[in-house]
Amino acid sequence: MDDKNYNNPNDKVLGICSGGLDSTVMLYFLASSGKLAGGLSFNYGQRHLKEIDFARKACGKLGVPFDVADISNLARLFGKNALTDKKVDVPKSDYDFSNMSVTVVPNRNMIFASIAAARAIALNCRGVAYAAHGGDHSIYPDCRPRFAGALAEALSLCHYYPVALERPFIGMSKADIVRLGADLGVDFSETWSCYEGGEIHCGQCGTCRERREAFKLAGVPDPTKYSRTF
Amino acid sequence: MDDKNYNNPNDKVLGICSGGLDSTVMLYFLASSGKLAGGLSFNYGQRHLKEIDFARKACGKLGVPFDVADISNLARLFGKNALTDKKVDVPKSDYDFSNMSVTVVPNRNMIFASIAAARAIALNCRGVAYAAHGGDHSIYPDCRPRFAGALAEALSLCHYYPVALERPFIGMSKADIVRLGADLGVDFSETWSCYEGGEIHCGQCGTCRERREAFKLAGVPDPTKYSRTF
């Protein structure tokens, strides 16, 4: 490789964002130190695109570019799962292996990271960031720390400069993220967690339950309207 | 992770194929030992789709399923390069850094591998294979051995079973691949190498030059029609 063709990246990262609570707080967190290049959401044929509108809105508020990577054409290749196949029901209970493995989109995080890295390279950013946190579920193989480490290593070698894979919330719980978001002035009512795409959060699916619990643990008022609570 | 939910994969691999010479020979090679689950091509907004028709035809001859992963919606995110941006000219000369870096689609191999792995998982295959060979150009960062090793490590951790990343031709030259293809009865006239999508191979771009040279070195008759040779 010729040194004079080595591109020095800028000091910003591209934030992978879903419009959910965690990634929205991450956008605010990165923007607060001037390190946010923009946001990138994925349309992978998920059941609803409601969350993407929230991600777009957050980037608009923060004054950074927002893009959607549309890989919805691939959904038919990914096999049966509740997130991309409308014929499979979303489990209505807490997370555990037997009921949540149906929500696995195979290798989703690597697909997202590899495309986000390509976009980051096109923008000459030094890396990408995603909002994995300490409470993420090891039921998803691609949420495990060893996988994240290997993925980071691969990204560091994929281009002429090392592309960073940042997980700023990896040492935090979801309650910690809620607290940080409150400090940063995030309007949580403009984030979406529910697997269903109803008018308001269902209150019953695994992500709704975790969301409610995180606000409770954080001692932060939860502005979310749930259609049903327990 | 619960052991009873560990899926044992079958012993086949999904072949990433472009309709080019190398990957077509690879499909034949894998099929010859009964290890080919099917072929997967990518539509990433390349200048022409002619090569995908050749890949489809090869899978048809081999009697295995063929799919196209359509990520052409992403082309606009990848920035300027000669493979996806029709406004950028394909360099008309041998490979070297200054004229070929314009053909870099950022992080292309990781994007391909991660999507192919997802498809392989959906098919319960033990892995994916691609036709990287010893002559691949280190100008492409994602053709370098260290990157390939890191990518293989990440794929081995991305799912409940380790997904293999196989490069059966990595110790071979393109001439070796031509020789192997001849032994396996590959009809080379039904493979496509040229970056341009003309009626016949242009004979001038880097891949055309390499193709002609490989036949010459292999001592195998080249059935390719070139519009111009030197």
Give tens-digit pLDDT for B81-118. 544 555 544 444 444 444 444 446 789 999 999 999 99
Residue of B nearest to A148 (CA): B154
**Residue A96 Cα distances to A93, A145, B2, B214, angstroms:** 9, 19, 10, 54
**Residue A213 Cα distances to A43, A174, A190, A206, B43, angstroms:** 27, 9, 18, 11, 43
Which DSSP string corresponds to A99-117?
Answer: HHGGG--TTHHHHHHHHHH
CB B64 within 8 A of CB B41: no
DSSP letter (8 states) at residue A36: E
Arithmetic mean of pLDDT, B186-213: 91
CB A106 within 8 A of CB B121: yes
CB B215 within 8 A of CB B191: no
**CB–CB of A158 and B147 under 8 A?**
yes
CB contacts, 8 Å: A159 with chain B: 106-107, 141-142
Q: Which of A147, A153, A160 sits opposite B150 (nearest CB)?
A: A153
pTM of the model: 0.87
Residue of B nearest to A40 (CA): B77
**CB–CB of A101 and B5 under 8 A?**
yes
Residue type, B118: A
The total number of residues shown for chain B amounts to 230
Arithmetic mean of pLDDT, A31-51: 91
Half-sphere exposure of B13 (CA within 13 A, CB side): 25
Is the pLDDT at A99 greater than 60? The verdict is no
Residue A229: other Cβ atoms inside 10 A: 11
Q: Report the distance separating Cα A92 and Cα A162, nearest Å.
A: 42
Structure tokens at B94: 């041998």
* pLDDT band, residue A104 (cuts 50/70/90): low
**CB–CB of A107 and B157 under 8 A?**
no
Question: What b-and-e string marks burial along B100-139, b requiring 16 or more CB atoms within 10 Å of the CB?
Answer: bbebbbbbbbbbbbbbbbbbbbbbebbbbbbbbbebbeeb
The per-residue pLDDT for A34 is 97
Q: Which of B69, B111, B151 sits opposite A115 (nearest CB)?
A: B111
A91: closest CA among A210, B84, A83?
A83
* pLDDT band, residue A93 (cuts 50/70/90): very low
Burial class, B61, CB count within 10 angstroms (exposed 0-12 / middle 13-18 / buried 19+): middle
CB B55 within 8 A of CB B39: yes
**CB–CB of A77 and B153 under 8 A?**
no
Q: Which of B5, B106, B114 sits opposite A159 (nearest CB)?
A: B106
CB A112 within 8 A of CB A17: no
Kindly give the pairing relationship between strand A36-43 and strand A66-70. parallel
- Residue in A114, A138, A147, A160 to test binding to B, most B beta-carbons within 10 Å: A114
Q: What is the 3-state secondary structure (H, E, C) of B141-171?
A: HHHCHHHHHHHHHHHHCCCCCCCEEECCCCC
Return the SS3 of A188: helix
- Please report where in the chains the tokens 């009697």 appear, as a residue: B63
CB A42 within 8 A of CB A69: yes
Its ipTM equals: 0.86
Chain B residues 38-97 with CB within 8 Å of chain A: 67, 69-71, 73-74, 77-79, 97
Check CB contact of A3 with chain B, cutoff 8 Å.
no
Average pLDDT, chain B: 86
Arithmetic mean of pLDDT, B15-26: 97
Of residues A141 and A153, the one with the higher pLDDT is A153
The per-residue pLDDT for B142 is 79
Is the pLDDT at A203 greater than 70? The verdict is yes
Which of A100-109, A134-143, B10-19, B69-78 is the most confident on average? B10-19
- Of A3-7, A26-30, A113-117, B123-127, minimum mean pLDDT range: A3-7
Of residues A36 and A134, the one with the higher pLDDT is A36
Structure tokens at B165: 């990343």
* pLDDT band, residue A15 (cuts 50/70/90): very high
CB A202 within 8 A of CB A196: yes
The per-residue pLDDT for A57 is 97
Of residues A168 and B94, the one with the higher pLDDT is A168
Dump pLDDT digits (tens) for A120-137. Answer: 999 999 999 999 998 776
Residue type, A106: P
Is the pLDDT at B166 greater than 70? The verdict is yes
**CB–CB of B110 and A155 under 8 A?**
yes
Chain B residues 133-172 with CB within 8 Å of chain A: 138-139, 141-142, 144, 146-147, 150-151, 153-160, 163
Check CB contact of B5 with chain A, cutoff 8 Å.
yes
Interface size A-B, in CB pairs within 8 Å, comes to 157
Q: Report the distance separating Cα B227 and Cα B221, nearest Å.
A: 17
Dump pLDDT digits (tens) for A64-85. Answer: 999 999 998 898 898 765 445 5
The per-residue pLDDT for B128 is 98
**Closest CA–CA distance from residue A100 to any residue of chain B (Å):** 12
Average pLDDT, chain A: 86
